[in-house]
Amino acid sequence: MKGAPESAGPDRDHYSYEHYAHRETAEGFDELRFGGPIGRYLLEWQADVLAAALAPLPGRRIVDVGTGTGRAAVGLARGGAAIVGLDYSAEMIRVARARAADAGVHVAYGLADAHRLPLADRSVDAAVSLRLLMHALDWRQCVAELCRVARWRVVIDFPALASVAAIESGARRVARRFGRRTEAYRVIAERDAAAALAQHGFHVAAVRRQFVLPIALHKAVGRANATRAVEGTLAAVGLLRLFGSPVTVVAER
């Protein structure tokens, strides 16, 4: 569910309404985001963070909001969780269903939007939403919905305001104003995310930050060992804590 809901408002020109609805976007998504050694490293890191945040997985009821092509959902299902995967894009869900079938796991995929989830209050143990808030029309409303449906924990991520992602975000927003077709994503201050969660009865239980340097730079180098070494050094001198992005926040009720 990288897109905005029909009920969210009149801004039908917001890029998140249409970008992920295209078949070519859905079919090329995984190679673009997770191809190559750095892409695989990103997936391994994400899987480790989710497994730690939601353990023990067997028997957990989890909704993955903005499931996209379903990589996180499939990983959680492999771990024994009962997963619902929701996305606004029918094309992304089509790819996600094929991925689950190939993996031999069951994920209950469905079409929905992050601003108005078709789930009852506290009907799942945990709600996960990755790479969504940066694109959603109203990220605070999305957080409200995640908190509403989750009994125990919420896991979200976002590019940090205090990071180099803020520069790229600003540049993309300017480019969008001049007619360029681009994902003009937002950055979010960690304190604002914590406040949005607290408003709905959740407190931050853990925070993980991934990179100091831009992901695009790591992908250009294309060596996971080099990424680990450089980012490890930056973390050791305290830069990851100050400027790390994206930020993954684990919150609990």
How confident is the model over 69-103, as pLDDT tens digits?
999 999 999 999 999 999 999 999 999 999 999 99
Question: Comparing 138 with 29, which gets the higher pLDDT?
Answer: 138
Specify the pTM: 0.88
Ramachandran area for residue 233 (φ above 0: left; ψ -120 to 50: alpha; else beta): alpha
Asked if residue 56 has a cis previous peptide bond (ω within 30° of 0), the answer is: yes
With CA atoms as reference, report the closest residue to 144 among 251, 18, 23: 251
Q: The tokens 């100091």 sit on which residue? A: 212
Distance CA 68, CA 85 (A): 8
The pLDDT value recorded for residue 167 is 73
Domains of the chain: 15-252 (3.40.50.150)
The pLDDT value recorded for residue 200 is 98
| Single-letter residue type at 250 | V
Question: Comparing 90 with 169, which gets the higher pLDDT?
Answer: 90
Question: Is the per-residue pLDDT at 8 higher than 90?
Answer: no
Distance CA 6, CA 60 (A): 31
In terms of DSSP bridges, do strands 150-158 and 108-111 run parallel, antiparallel, or are they unpaired?
Answer: unpaired
The pLDDT value recorded for residue 169 is 65
The pLDDT value recorded for residue 165 is 76
The pLDDT value recorded for residue 132 is 94
Confidence of residue 164 (pLDDT cuts 50, 70, 90): confident
The pLDDT value recorded for residue 97 is 96
Q: If you average pLDDT over every residue of the chain, what do you get?
A: 88
Distance CA 78, CA 100 (A): 10
In terms of DSSP bridges, do strands 124-129 and 61-65 run parallel, antiparallel, or are they unpaired?
Answer: parallel
Overall average pLDDT of the 57-68 stretch? 96
Please give the torsion angle defined by the CA atoms of residues 93, 96, 101 and 103, in that order, rounded to the nearest 10 degrees: -170
Overall average pLDDT of the 132-149 stretch? 95
* Proportion of the chain above pLDDT 90, given as a percent: 69
Q: Collect all residues with Cβ–Cβ distance below 8 Å to 251 and sequence separation of at least 6.
A: 153, 154, 155, 156, 194, 197, 202, 203, 204, 205
Distance CA 250, CA 78 (A): 21
The pLDDT value recorded for residue 4 is 37
* Two structure tokens written together for 83: 């997963």
The tens digit of pLDDT for each residue in 194-236 reads: 999 999 999 999 999 999 998 889 999 999 999 999 999 999 9
The pLDDT value recorded for residue 14 is 63
Question: Is the per-residue pLDDT at 17 higher than 60?
Answer: no
What is the H or E stretch that residue 42 is in?
helix 36-54
Q: Collect all residues with Cβ–Cβ distance below 8 Å to 218 and sequence separation of at least 6.
A: 38, 211, 227
